[in-house]
Amino acid sequence: MHKNLSAYLQMTLAMAIVGSSVVAGKLIVASFPVFLSSGMRFAISSLMLVPLMLKLEKGFVPVSKREWAILFLQALTGVFLFNIFLLYGVKFTGAVESGIITSTTPAMVGIISFLFLKERLSLTKSLGILFTVLGILMFNLIGINKTESGVFPLLGNLLIFGAVIGEALFTILRKVLPDTVSPLSAATLMSFMGFLMFLPLTVYEALSFDFSAVSLRDWLYILYFGIVVTVVAYILWFQGVAKVPASTAAVFTGVMPVSAVLLAYIVLNEPLSWAHILGGLCVLIGIGFITKQNP
């Protein structure tokens, strides 16, 4: 069995869940303000993760000043800014378009890890990134006008690209975080710091929000965001990415747009073309190359 198989499975499942956040986010922002929904999400995840960490790890693991700085930057880029850009982005553009734009994440992580972490790119890893980028091009063959479903697509697309940069930095920063910070501790701290960052504007929006108008289904979306997207996906991703180079993790972020596009078609009935299907296959081929690089 491939020695990194468990890491690959963890990252694949984590990114599939994160991809579902594009669809879930579009459903949530139809009923909740962005900061209120994000604050409630991280409040729920923190209420689950903090007791779990205290039980399994017997308290908080000591963290140095440098580690706190890295964790803060992770929370700022991959939690706070990522969610603001994503949730405001899906208000203005379609979920399929959002999924297409998030396809640039693997290339963004690969470029940043090559430039700043000085990671060497092997032939198979390069082929993996190449096929992932090819998948991006296939996605974009559909043409933006065929999938427009937002009120201001250009602004929405720019915001989604901002979320891509946040996700890329989130992945890279995890690679410079020492192994002494466990996946569970990292996920817990990310969630709690995210909650604190969103808290002031969450309270502001909550004061004028009519909670009685929210349906049970809308509350279930918030619970899904807080428990599955945040708790489950964060732990899986932190466990997987700690075992592989950042450029390898970059390719697995390609699962996120495939998941987003498929779910947008299934749940939101947004258009799905042959280009989406071929693009998704290219991403899977890219992952296949990466998984063969370390026998």
Short-list 45, 11, 10, 29, CA closest to 225:
45
Q: Where are the alpha helices (DSSP H) in the chain?
A: 5-28, 34-56, 65-74, 82-92, 95-102, 105-116, 123-140, 153-175, 183-207, 216-224, 233-241, 246-252, 255-268, 274-291
Compute the distance between CA of residue 256 and CA of residue 75 in angstroms, rounded to an integer.
19
pLDDT number for residue 247: 66
Rg of the chain over all Cα atoms, to the nearest angstrom? 18
pLDDT number for residue 223: 94
Residue 270 has pLDDT above 60, yes or no: yes
Residue 144 has pLDDT above 50, yes or no: no
Residue 103 has pLDDT above 50, yes or no: yes
CB 44 within 8 A of CB 226: yes
DSSP of 118-178: -----HHHHHHHHHHHHHHHHHHTT-GGGT--SSSHHHHHHHHHHHHHHHHHHHHHHHTS-
244 phi-psi bin (left φ>0, alpha ψ -120 to 50, beta other): beta
CB 108 within 8 A of CB 247: no
Query: pLDDT tens-digit profile of 153-170?
Result: 778 878 988 998 898 888
- Beta carbons within 8 Å of 154's beta carbon, 6+ residues apart: none
134, 22, 87, 95 alpha-carbon torsion, rounded to 10°? 70
Q: Please give the biggest Cα pair distance in the chain.
A: 57
Dihedral sign from CA coordinates of 276, 278, 282, 288 = positive
The least confident of 131-140, 176-185, 275-284 is 131-140
Residue 136 has pLDDT above 70, yes or no: no
Query: pLDDT tens-digit profile of 5-57?
Result: 888 899 899 989 988 888 888 889 889 999 999 999 999 999 998 888 888 77
pLDDT number for residue 1: 43
pLDDT number for residue 4: 77
pLDDT number for residue 121: 66
CB 13 within 8 A of CB 253: no
Compute the distance between CA of residue 221 and CA of residue 114 in angstroms, rounded to an integer.
37
CB 219 within 8 A of CB 96: no
Compute the distance between CA of residue 190 and CA of residue 171 in angstroms, rounded to an integer.
13
DSSP 3-state of 88: helix
pLDDT number for residue 274: 75
DSSP of 238-250: HHHHTTS-HHHHH
